[in-house]
Each structure stands twice: as C-alpha cells, then as structure tokens.
Chains A and B, each alone.
Chain A
Amino acid sequence: MIGVSHYLILSGLLFSIGFMGVLRRKNLLMLFFATEMMLNASNIAFVAIGNYYGDLSGQMFAFFVIAVAASEVAVGLGLLILLYKKYGSLDLDVISAMKG
C-alpha cells in the first residue's frame, strides 16, 4: 500500500534533483527550470500530507505555491529577456557584474 512516506520520499528525491540543478546550472533559464522542479516537489509533499491528515490546507498551500510560481515566471522571464538584450547571453559566468 502506498503511504504518505512514499510520497514524501518521492518529493524529497525530486527536490534533490531540482537542488542539484540549481547547483550545477549556469544558464539562467535552466536555473528557472530547476526552481520549478523544486516548487513542484514541495507541492507533492503538501498535498500528500494534506491527504494524510484529511485536511484541505495542504492543497491550499500547493495552490498558492502554483500562483506564486506563475507570477515568478512572468516577472522572471521579462527580466531574462532584458538581461539577454543587455549581455547577449544568459550564462552566469558572463553576467558576473557583482565582482567587487
């Protein structure tokens, strides 16, 4: 029988994959993909726990996470386009303007 721990472990694994993506990616667009993965992984955990407790709050949280992710993508993509126009690249090694 599939219990809540199965979902949670799966969620943890997916989160770790997203985490690895965040760590290794240099391309900003790919970084966005990685964060999407992490958000989705956490959504699975929310819903699974909500289901386990018979509580709707988990779903509500997941719902708002999706809303936040959508707005993040909207603003983030706009910024990415600006950056690309400015530098002609989305590679973080190129866009290292923070060097002191």
Chain B
Amino acid sequence: MYEVIAFYVFAISTTILFLITAFSKNVLYAMTALASGMVMISGFFFLLGADFLGVVQLIVYVGAVMALYAFGMMFFDATKDIKEKHQNPTLVFILGGLMALVFVIMFSAPIIGENVQAIHPVIEGVGNAQAVGMVLFTKYLVAFEVAAVMLLVAMIAGIILAGKKMDYSLTTNDDTYDHEDEILKGAGK
C-alpha cells in the first residue's frame, strides 16, 4: 500500500517537475526543477530495491551534474529569461504526444517472454550494494574500467575546453576587442 502511494507521489511530482524543466523560460527554474526531478527518480530506484543506484543517482546527478550546471550557468547570465523563437509549436506537441501515446500503448500491453532467464540473478541474502559490487567487479569489470577512463578523459576535456582564456572576461570587454592583437602590440613595443 505504501509502495503504491509512494509510486504515485513520486510519479506525479517527477512528471510535473520535468514538465517545468521542459517548458520553463527561466534557466534557474528549469535547473532547479530538473535537480528535484532527479531526486524523485532516485526514489523510484529505492522503491525498486536498487539502493546503490539510488545513492549513485543522488550523488552523481544531483550532486555532481547539477553542481556542474550551476557552475556553468555562472557564465551564461542565468537570471535573464531566455527568448526562444518557436517556429511551429503544434508540431512539437504532435510529435511528443504521439511518442507518449506509442510508449503507453506499447508498455500497457502485457510483457511478452515470461520465460526469460535472469543472466545475473539478484543474490539472496546480501545487500543491494554488495550484490551490485559483486557483479560490477566480476562481469562488468572491463566496462567499469573503461567508464572510469572515460570519466577521466571527460574531466580533462572539460577543464581544457572551459579553462581556455579563463582570465578573459566576456562581460567587461566588448566583442571588437582583440585580445591577441594587444599581446602582439605589447610585444612590439
């Protein structure tokens, strides 16, 4: 019973929060709604018994990703409402609505293949984090390591891309100002 209540609460709130994210004009609202939505999603993970993933979701998404976005936003004047020209909004709703309809119809049909065998069955008697760890460091070790390297590469790439000309302020200098020219002039003196 609690599970049902929890599911519907989480479901409704996630949907509303995501709708805000998708349709809000204000970046700050959108981001806040997204972060809240992520928290709610971690609730589903807990409901489904995936404790470890729920924690990861909280830490990585809500903690790290959202923090990154928040930092990124410092560059982009987040306080202003963004102006977007929507060429044909009806098309968006038709396509999105159609997709939702297709998914609902597809998933409300009974799931086929009842006799599917579990490849990595949930280990009885151990906690979820422990079970995940056992699978992750046996079957998925290589993928895990690759993901780790990928994260490292992404981190370095992010630093390099964002860090170039960090000392150069966009807000105080206008576009016509040529930074490199100045350096060259200085060298010429």
* Chain A residues at the B interface, C-beta cutoff of 8 Å: 1-2, 4-21, 23-27, 29-30, 32-34, 36-37, 40, 43-44, 47-48, 50-57, 59-60, 62-64, 66-75, 77-82, 84-85, 88, 90-91, 93
Q: Which of A15, A34, A57, A77 has the most CB of B within 10 A?
A: A77
The distance from the CB of B54 to the nearest CB of chain A, in whole angstroms, is 9
CB distance from A100 to the nearest CB of B (A): 19
Chain B contacts for A84, CB-based, 8 A: 75-76, 170
CB pair B159–A51 under 8 Å, yes or no, is no
Q: What distance in Å separates the Cβ of B55 from its nearest Cβ neighbour in chain A?
A: 11
- Which of B44, B106, B116, B143 has the most C-beta atoms of chain A within 10 angstroms of its own C-beta? B44
Decide: B65 and A73 in contact? CB cutoff 8 A.
yes
How big is the B interface, by class?
35 or more
A7-B48, A53-B116, A91-B84 given; name 4 further pairs at CB < 8 Å.
A36-B65, A40-B41, A63-B53, A63-B56
Which residues of B sit under 8 angstroms from A51, Cβ to Cβ? 48-50
Which residues of B come within 8 Å of A, CB atoms? 3-4, 7, 11, 14-15, 18-19, 21-23, 27, 30-31, 34, 37-38, 41, 44-45, 48-50, 52-53, 56-57, 60-61, 64-65, 68-69, 72-73, 75-76, 82-86, 89, 91-93, 95-97, 99-100, 102-104, 106-108, 110-111, 116, 118-122, 131-132, 135-136, 139-140, 143, 147, 150-151, 153-155, 157-162, 164-165, 168, 170, 175
Label chain A's interface by main secondary structure.
helix
Kindly identify which residue among B22, B37, B50, B175 contacts A40, using a CB–CB cutoff of 8 Å: B37
